[in-house]
Every structure is written in structure tokens, then in C-alpha cells.
Amino acid sequence: MPSVKVTSQDVARLAGVSQPTVSRVFTPGVKVSKAMEDKVRRAADELGYRPNTLARSLITGQSMTIGLIVAYFDNPFYVEALEKMSRALKDKGYNIMIFMAANHAGDVDQVVHDLLDHQVDGIILASVSTSSALTERLHEEGVPLILFNRGHEDKSLSAVTSANTAGGRKVAEFLLAGGHKRIAHISGWQGASTGRDRCAGFAKALKEKGAEPHAIVDGLFSREAAAAATRSFFATGESPDAIFVGNDHMAFAVIEVLKGELGLAIGQEVSVVGYDDVAMSAWPSFDLTTVRQPANRMVDAIVSQLVAQIEGRATEPRQIEIDGPLIVRGSARKPEGWVA
């Protein structure tokens, strides 16, 4: 283990300048004469010097690191978002430290403390929520936290979501226009605003048109729960002619039960609509009609809001809702004369 640590001191010695001069050369936005810069860079290259980020962070108070907390990656929407966030933040000079946390407040709070110990400049919570005791602490420390794809009753918290209520409404209107009479809903987890809002928008729109849901069951964002709910719908009494599922991930399980176990023709005998428009929704096996959550725009929004808060430009918290269109594919019967 040779362990040849090259410091700015070493470079300074070789270049015949002082350590601060070396530091200045590697600090963007600081004036150094051309002659000095050349000497220093030459020496640095020769030694293979690169600034120690830890030492830099210690003194600047900026770690250029963002903590990302996520509960699970079963839902590919979060995978897609992670990938985009990573690239977007890197463009702005930030790196991501990632943590998996179980989705209960205790675990999340523990993880947030871990992140604070690492002096992260900001925190993104994806698919999890947190306690208000913690958000207060964060506010004191001046570390911004933003929720991704989750809302929060505490409006002092910034959050980026899609327009879930409007999305649920779109689905209801589309299915009603398609002439469906018994529309069931396998909702997203009711412990999450995302699940609640989609459900609420859907139910409200039905009511306004004088209809009411055939049935509503909490699918808990789980394939197994969604599959079980689907079976229960067809076990007794009148069966639904359409099912709105709280996200695509569950919708795939629903489709498999309908097609494989019950032998129903999707889009003809029964309609299915999802939410998210993950890449798989476009696969021929599923061909899922769904509400698009524009991951690109959501990520852009959360990154720019987070960076603005870090840099002190945005001091006010914001709740940002990104609207997404209904993507019509073959899994649900289209209304008469429907035009894309």
C-alpha cells in the first residue's frame, strides 16, 4: 500500500510558490496571474495532484453532496428518477449519497441524521415521508429537504409531485366517456399523499358526473395486494368493467390476473388504466393506458428548487405540481370517436 498522498503543500514546494497560491489555482473564480497558474499546473500534473474534497468541504461548509433517501425500487419509476437525478445533479456539480430506508418515520429519521453527519448540502426524500420533529431540526441546521413524489400537510416543506388529483380526474373522465358503468379502483397506499390524491381526484370526478365507484381497495403499492384485490372483484357479485390502478407497477399484476387467471380480454371485456407511464407500460405485453408522470420535468423541478434553496436564492418552500397527459394505449376501451 504505497499510499502516495499528494497535497497542495507538495505542489507548492515543487512549483516554488506558497500553498495558498496552489489553492487559488484550483478554486474557480479566483484571480491568479498566468505565470503562476502555469507553474502550478505543471507541478500539479507532474505529481498527479488533485484537491482533497473532504478538506475543502470542511472549510467551505459545502460538501457538494446531496442525500437521497428512497424506500424501494420495486417501482421502476423511482429507478428512472434516480438515474435522471444523478445526471442532473452532477451537471450542477453535486454528487449523490444514497440510502435505503424502510418506510416508517423512525428509520427515515435515523437515516437523515446519518446524512447530516456527512454534512450533505440538501436532502431528497423519494417515496418516503418524515416526522415534523426532524424537519424542524433540518430547518435549524439550514439544510433543505424536498419530497419527491410525496406531498405533506406541513406546507413549510417543499415537494415535487405530479398533479395527482387532476390525474385521477382525467382517468375517471376517460373511463366514463368510454361508456364504462362499473369502475373499480385499486388505489395507491392511502398512507401516502400520492395514493390519496389520485384516489380523491378520481372519486370526485365520478361523483360530479353522477357516478360512483364500483369498489375501492387499497393496493398498498404492492403487486401482491393488487392481484388479491383483482381476484376479490371477480369472486362474488357483479364484476367491474374497468379498473383504475394506482400505479403502473400494480397495474401489471392486475393485467396478469385478468388475462392469465380469469381469461379476460384486456381493453375489450375489461379496461385497465395505470399511473406513471414507466417504460414497461409501452411494452406490447402490457400496452397500458396510463397517466404520464413526466420524470424529466419532475427531476428538473426538484433539482433546480433544491439548488436554489441551497444557494439561498429560494428561501420560501414551494409545492410544485407537474401536470402530465393521459397516454392512451390499448388496455382500456376508447370513447367513441377518440382522437389521439
Partner DNA sequence: AATAGACTTGAATACGTATTCACCGCTGCT
Partner DNA sequence: AGCAGCGGTGAATACGTATTCAAGTCTATT
Q: Please say which residue, 26 or 99, places its beta carbon nearer to DNA.
A: 26
Which partner from the list DNA, a copy of itself, none does 130 bind, CB cut-off 5 to 8 Å by kind? none
36: closest CA among 18, 10, 56? 18
Closest CA to 47 of 57, 56, 39: 39
Interface residue with DNA among 46, 58, 95, 224 (CB under 7 A) is 58
DSSP letter (8 states) at residue 258: I
Q: Is 130 exposed, middle or buried (0-12, 13-18, 19+ CB in 10 A)?
A: buried
- Residues in Cβ contact with 159 at an 8 Å cutoff, skipping those fewer than 6 apart: 146, 147, 148, 150, 151, 152, 319, 320
How remote is the C-alpha of 210 from its chain's centroid? Answer: 35
Residue whose CB is less far from a copy of itself, 19 or 119: 119
In the set 37, 154, 256, 323, which binds a copy of itself (CB under 8 A)? Answer: 256
User: Out of 4, 5, 91, 260, which residue is the one contacting DNA (CB under 7 A)?
Assistant: 5
Q: Which of 9, 27, 46, 95 binds a copy of itself (CB under 8 A)?
A: 95
**Contact status, residue 216 vs residue 198, Cβ threshold 8 Å:** no
**Under rule CB under 8 A, residue 82 binds a copy of itself:** yes
Q: Which of 138, 243, 286, 288 binds a copy of itself (CB under 8 A)?
A: 286
Window contacting DNA (CB under 7 A); options: 53-61, 125-133, 322-330, 331-339: 53-61
What letters, b where the CB count within 10 A reaches 16 and e where it falls short, cover 270-288?
bbbbbbbbbebbeeeebbb
- Candidates 16, 27, 42, 55: give the one binding a copy of itself (CB under 8 A): 55
Q: Are 148 and 127 in contact (CB under 8 A)?
A: yes
* 224 contacts a copy of itself (rule: CB under 8 A): no
Give the binding-site size for a copy of itself (rule: CB under 8 A): 53
Query: Could you give phi then psi for residue 211, rounded to 5 degrees?
Result: -105, 170
Chain residues binding a copy of itself by CB under 8 A are 1-5, 48, 50-55, 57-58, 63, 65, 72-73, 76, 79-80, 82-83, 86-87, 90, 95-100, 113-114, 116-119, 137, 139-142, 252, 255-256, 259-260, 283-286, 312
